[in-house]
């Protein structure tokens, strides 16, 4: 839908606070009243624009989990969907966006934690894994840190592999 596509682009570029219904309507070449008719509010438009399907983990051992986590990082460094960028840009200034990210990360942490070998602190280790990859993604996609932007996803993954494997594997 044109309205959602325009909203994703604007939320990703400007974040929640600086995106207006009028700007979304103009970008979609529709009347602002039509946006309100379909979505009711900017908050509901944002909520629908940033919906994303979670990617389930299918790992059966630590090495496979590490491979899947690093592969997901490679996909993220290749470019994120506009809805994901919109949420990431807005999560520090908008409580609803922060709640959305918190819930999504919670699901990822639960998923990763369920695949970790029985050991001490699986939820904490899963949270560290997920947020470490999130930090790399933010540095690359939103902050445009030169050292991250200039390195290939494969090189970044190779450097991260020992740390990810240490967190994912049994303590030792």
Whether residues 9 and 66 share a domain: the answer is no
Whether residues 37 and 82 share a domain: the answer is no
- Which domain does 156 fall in, by range? 62-168
pLDDT in tens, 21-65: 999 999 999 999 999 999 998 888 887 776 654 555 666 778 888
Whether residues 96 and 18 share a domain: the answer is no
Number of structural domains found in the chain: 2
Residue 69 within any structural domain of the chain: yes
- What is the CATH number for 145? 1.10.357
Mean pLDDT to the nearest integer, 123-150: 91
Residue 143 within any structural domain of the chain: yes
Residue 55 in tokens: 């990617």
Residue 124 within any structural domain of the chain: yes
Whether residues 94 and 162 share a domain: the answer is yes
Is the Cα dihedral 105, 101, 73, 124 positive or negative? Answer: negative
Residue 56 within any structural domain of the chain: no
The angle at the Cα of 169, spanning 70 to 165, to the nearest 5 degrees, equals: 35
pLDDT in tens, 81-124: 777 777 888 888 888 888 888 888 898 899 888 888 776 888 99
The reported pLDDT for the residue numbered 171 is 61
- Contacts of residue 72, defined as CB under 8 A and 6 or more positions apart, other chains included, come to 55, 133
Whether residues 77 and 45 share a domain: the answer is no
Whether residues 71 and 129 share a domain: the answer is yes
User: What is the band of 147 on the pLDDT scale with cuts at 50, 70, 90?
Assistant: very high
The reported pLDDT for the residue numbered 10 is 85
Instruction: Give the C-alpha separation, 112 to 128, whole Å.
Output: 10
């Amino acid at each position: 839908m044109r309205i959602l596509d325009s909203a994703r682009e604007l939320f990703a570029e400007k974040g929640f606070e600086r995106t207006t219904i009028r700007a979304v309507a103009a970008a979609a070449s529709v009347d602002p009243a039509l946006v309100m008719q379909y979505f009711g509010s900017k908050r509901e438009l944002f909520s629908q624009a940033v919906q994303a399907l979670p990617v389930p983990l299918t790992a059966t051992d630590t090495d496979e989990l590490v491979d899947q986590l690093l592969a997901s990082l490679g996909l993220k460094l290749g470019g994120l969907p506009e809805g994901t960028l919109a949420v990431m840009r807005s999560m520090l200034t908008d409580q609803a966006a922060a709640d959305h990210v918190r819930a999504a990360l919670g699901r990822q942490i639960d998923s990763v934690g369920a695949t970790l070998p029985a050991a001490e602190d699986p939820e904490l280790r899963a949270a560290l894994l997920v947020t470490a990859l999130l930090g790399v993604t933010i540095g690359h996609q939103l902050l445009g840190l030169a050292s991250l932007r200039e390195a290939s996803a494969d090189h970044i993954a190779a450097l991260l592999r020992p740390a990810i494997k240490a967190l994912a594997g049994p303590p030792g």
